[in-house]
Structure 1
Amino acid sequence: MSEAGRAGDEPRLGDPGFLVPERKARIDAVVANRTRTLTVVMEAFADPQNVNAVLRTCEAFGIQALHVVEGPMKPYDRNKKISQNADKWLDVTRWRSTRECLERLKADGFAIYVTHLDEGARPLAELSFAGKVALVFGNEHRGVSDDALALADASYAIPMRGFVQSLNVSVAAAISIAKAVERREIDRGRHGDLPEADAAALRERFYLLAVKQRARIAKAEAAVLRREARRGRTSS
C-alpha cells in the first residue's frame, strides 16, 4: 500500500495519491508503451526547431532515451512551443562527438541505422527491429557524417515518389520512427518493453512531474519535516 493509503499519513510528493485516477491511468499506460531499445541520434542539427520537433515525435511514439551530438551551429536548446514540453518526459544525452556516441551505443548492443542516399541504402521496412536499434539523423545540410557511415550497420532511405528528393530532417525522423515502431511490433510482438524496475521508477518520476505546483508542495513538505525534526530534538 502506498503512503497515501495508510491511515493518518499524508501523501508525499510524487505519490499517485496526488493525482486524479484518470491522470494516473494515463501515466501508467504511457509507461507501459515506453522503450529504451529503440533510440534516436540527432547529429549536429543546425536548427534547434528541428531538434525540438524530433523530441516531440520521440515522446509521442514512446521512445524514452535519445541522443544529441552537439555541432558547430547553435547548440540544442528546448523550445516549449515546438516540443510541447516533450523533453521533460524524456532522457536526453548530449555528446561532443558522433564517434563517442555511436561507439557507446554499439557497445550496448545497438544496431546503427543511418539515413543516407547511396546505392546501398535500403527501405527501412526491410531492416530488422528484433533487437536494439539506433536511428541516426544527420545535419540538415551535410547529412550524416563520415564517422556515422563508418560505424553504421545499415543505411536506409525513405522512398520518394515525387519531384522532390529530400525531406526536412524532422519530417524524415517522424516517418522513420513511425515505421520503426510498426516494424518493432511485428518483429518483437510489442513496442513497450521496459523492465519492471525501470518502469516503476519512471512511473514515480512521471507522477512527480504531473503534480501541479509541485515546487510549492515540496517546499511545504520540507517545512513539515523541519518542524518534526525540531520537535524531536526538543522532546529528547
Structure 2
Amino acid sequence: MSLLGDPGFLLPERRDRIDRAVAERTRTLTVVMEAFCDPQNVNAVLRTCDAFGVQEVHVVEGPMKPYDRNRKISQNADKWLDVVRWKSSAECLDALKARGFAVYATHLDDGARPLGALSFAGKVALVFGNESRGVSAEALARADARYVIPMRGFVQSLNVSVAAAVSLARAVERREAERGRHGDLAEAEADELRQRFYGLAVRQRARIAKAERAETRPASGRALRRIRHG
C-alpha cells in the first residue's frame, strides 16, 4: 500500500490543502535576490514567496557565505520552492529574459515608476538588491522597468524583505486583475508538483511519528525497570 494513500501519513485535509496550494502556484512571476548580506532576509523572502504562490526563486550569491536555513524565519518554506542559485546577476537575468521574463528592479531614481503603475500581465521577474548597495549595475542595465514603493512618511525605503512582501502582494493583485487568475501551472506541471508535495508531506509526517516514538521509549523503559526492581 502506498504511503500517499495511507490516512495515517497523509490525511485528506492535508491533501486538500496541498491541492489548493498547487492551484495557486505560478512560475510566470519570480523573485531574484541579489547577494543579500543577511541570511534572515533571504529566509523571510522565501517564506513570502511561498505565501504568494511563487514557485521559482533565484538567489544570486555574493562574496558572503551562502545563506543559512533558518526554520523559525522561513517556516520551512524553502522545501516547497524551487530555489535556483547563480554566481552572477548577468547570468541569472540573461537566462530569465531568454525565457521571456520582463525584469523589474527596485531602484530609487528620477526615472523609477510607482509599483502600482506596472503591468503584470506577462512573465515578470522582480529584482531586489543587496541591503546596503541596492540593485547592481548589471541588473539595472537589464531592467525593463525601475520601480519604487511610494512612501507616505519620512523614510525613503523599506527593509528588503518587507519590500518584497509589498511588491508580491501588489503583483498578485495586478495579475488577478489583468490575467483573471494568479495560479497558472499547466495540468501536467501541476500534477508533477502535487505528487512532489505529497511526498514531502509524507516524509514530514513520518519524521514526526518517529520523533514521537523516540520520546515515548525512554519513559516506557524506565517504567519497566521500576517494575522489575520494585
TM-score (norm 1): 0.84
SS in 2 for 1:173: helix
How far 1:28 moved relative to its partner?
0.3
Does the Cα contact within 8 Å between 1:111 and 1:152 map onto a contact in 2? Answer: yes
Q: Distance in 2 between matches of 1:16 and 1:122?
A: 52
Q: Distance in 1 between matches of 2:5 and 2:191?
A: 12
Does the Cα contact within 8 Å between 2:115 and 2:150 map onto a contact in 1? Answer: no
1:73 and 2:64 aligned: yes
Corresponding letter in the other structure for 1:27: I
Q: Distance in 2 between matches of 1:127 and 1:77?
A: 33
Identity, in percent, stands at 75
Q: Distance in 2 between matches of 1:152 and 1:76?
A: 25
From 103, 113, 126, the equivalent of 2:104 is 113
Map of 2:43 onto structure 1? 52
Q: Distance in 2 between matches of 1:45 and 1:164?
A: 21
From 60, 81, 95, the equivalent of 1:104 is 95
Map of 1:175 onto structure 2? 166
Corresponding letter in the other structure for 1:159: P
Map of 2:227 onto structure 1? none
Q: Distance in 2 between matches of 1:98 and 1:25?
A: 38
1:81-107 per-position Cα deviation (integer Å, ceiling 9, x unaligned): 100000000000000000000000000
Map of 1:129 onto structure 2? 120
Unaligned runs of 5+ in 1: 1-9, 218-236
Does the Cα contact within 8 Å between 1:16 and 1:24 map onto a contact in 2? Answer: no
Map of 2:191 onto structure 1? 200
Aligned length: 207
How far 1:22 moved relative to its partner?
0.9
Does the Cα contact within 8 Å between 1:15 and 1:207 map onto a contact in 2? Answer: no
Map of 1:145 onto structure 2? 136
Against the structure 1 CA distance between its residues 203 and 139, is the aligned structure 2 distance closer, same or farther, given a 3 Å change threshold? same
1:163 and 2:187 aligned: no
Map of 2:180 onto structure 1? 189
Does the Cα contact within 8 Å between 1:124 and 1:157 map onto a contact in 2? Answer: yes
SS in 2 for 1:36: coil
How far 1:214 moved relative to its partner?
6.3
Against the structure 1 CA distance between its residues 82 and 117, is the aligned structure 2 distance closer, same or farther, given a 3 Å change threshold? same
1:55-79 per-position Cα deviation (integer Å, ceiling 9, x unaligned): 0000000000000000112322211
Q: Distance in 2 between matches of 1:176 and 1:74?
A: 27
Q: Please give the root-mean-square deviation of Cα atoms over the aligned residues, in Å.
A: 1.6
SS in 2 for 1:213: helix
Does the Cα contact within 8 Å between 1:111 and 1:133 map onto a contact in 2? Answer: yes
Q: Distance in 2 between matches of 1:73 and 1:167?
A: 22
Runs of 4+ in 1 over 2 A off after TM superposition: 13-18, 214-217
Does the Cα contact within 8 Å between 1:121 and 1:154 map onto a contact in 2? Answer: yes
1:24-44 per-position Cα deviation (integer Å, ceiling 9, x unaligned): 111000000000000000000
Corresponding letter in the other structure for 1:196: E
TM-score (norm 2): 0.87
Corresponding letter in the other structure for 1:84: Q
1:209 and 2:197 aligned: no
